[in-house]
Chain A
């Protein structure tokens, strides 16, 4: 990456001087790696962004730009239309849609959570209606660990003619990501959660949608011909990649994909499922510990949120930290989840490819220590 940061001082697509060729090739090779990683039908469907937040904002802004883009009627959102998310979303998949609703006069709605941290089939059916224009939801919840029934939600959304956007930031590092299998229209994820660098994310979209969707950011690279009287735009993916891209970061993401692909996403999933099953069982033996999210390993990932009776989540995290056990406490940028369950915050243990069974056991012992301190 360091070498690339030096060499990428040269421009990427349109450069003539010697030195741009290898940079462009490395950047486009990273696109190929992403396309293969998510089983995209076409490499041109992979758009590089700076992170998942930008991926989601890109779609939200493109939809509001449809209001004034000739020929983009199919993407228009306005008063009487509905934008649907779920109650378990990260703030990055709430705020862009609230803002879209504000800009367009559309109604912002959400599919409610049940007591176990899941979306009930009836609620999915009832919340997504004939008025719904876009449904954006998380694949695997960062706050609850829940893995959502993507195909069921997509089927309902497509039945009413709505676009679907899947936030796969938390699933990409933990389970195979197959955009064709998911069936959604757009899928986004981010580099730094996939053991890659910060500053790079991905938006995958169906080619025919990306080709017609109004543009988001304007600038170099995203154009076909610029005239002072008007501009025509490039084909996907460059249509959505204005300006000099994050070349080194994209290549770094490619290296991270090589790493996890070398281990095998199926193997990573199997490893994390074992850790999760063991952790859920062990945690259930701790009196006063309440899992916030699915209590069983079915359709859940390796992030386990919990509270402990009589001990604030930040105190739990701090005492674990003093024992060398790193967890996170807070609302995990999904504050509506805490509101839903009537708690100020949760403590969350997140397992990854490098986590071991011994570390899960250390967590359980550490929590016993928390109980002793607060007796």
Chain B
């Protein structure tokens, strides 16, 4: 028995789940955000540092299914180093694809490994899993952009 060809589970997803990128919470950050999916209990906490209009650093911890955890890992690979404007465009493109019920293919040049989550769009119950970390990042960036440098957190 093998998984069907249109299985939601791509190797990329499993790889990110097993070897999550930028895992752990950095000590130097501007904003921290914690999001929970109340229907399944999945959670992600992430910290972001923004300077000169650029996402300088992003780290995270979380618990949950492979979809929520791997998609957060993919997020970090994509947006670290991007300008805040480009990062939010990346988030918008990923959100559009997974929310499209399969009508939007997704652009690998914009969302990178995020393209592997195209199959999630067919499972409405799992869309929130895929977006968990991305929505937390969006809120964290908004919060970080509001704060002045003097309000920076430095727990180190």
Contacts and interface: CB of A to CB of B under 8 A. Distances in A.
Interface stretch (B2-10, B19-27, B71-79, B102-110): B2-10
Contacts of B18: 374
A369 B3 contact: yes
B63 interface: yes
B12 interface: no
B139 to A, nearest CB: 23
A345 B40 contact: yes
B1 A369 contact: yes
Interface residues of A, number: 20
A318 B40 CA distance: 13
A318 B129 CA distance: 13
A350 B8 CA distance: 24
Contacts, number: 52
Interface residues of B, number: 21
By secondary structure, the A interface counts as: helix
A366 interface: yes
B41 to A, nearest CB: 5
Contacts of A11: none
Contact of A373 (B14, B41, B42, B65): B14
A322 B41 contact: no
Contacts of A323: 1, 3-4
Nearest to A317: B65
B14 A318 contact: no
Contacts of A345: 40-41
A322 to B, nearest CB: 5
Contacts of A314: 40, 65, 67, 126, 129
Interface string B32-43: 000000001110
Q: Which 5 A-B pairs have the closest CB atoms?
A: A312-B65, A314-B65, A344-B41, A315-B66, A315-B65
22 contacts: A313-B65, A314-B67, A314-B129, A315-B9, A315-B65, A315-B66, A318-B9, A318-B123, A319-B3, A319-B7, A322-B4, A323-B1, A323-B3, A330-B40, A344-B63, A345-B41, A366-B1, A369-B1, A369-B3, A373-B9, A373-B14, A374-B18
Interface of A: 311-315, 318-319, 322-323, 330-331, 344-345, 365-366, 368-369, 373-375
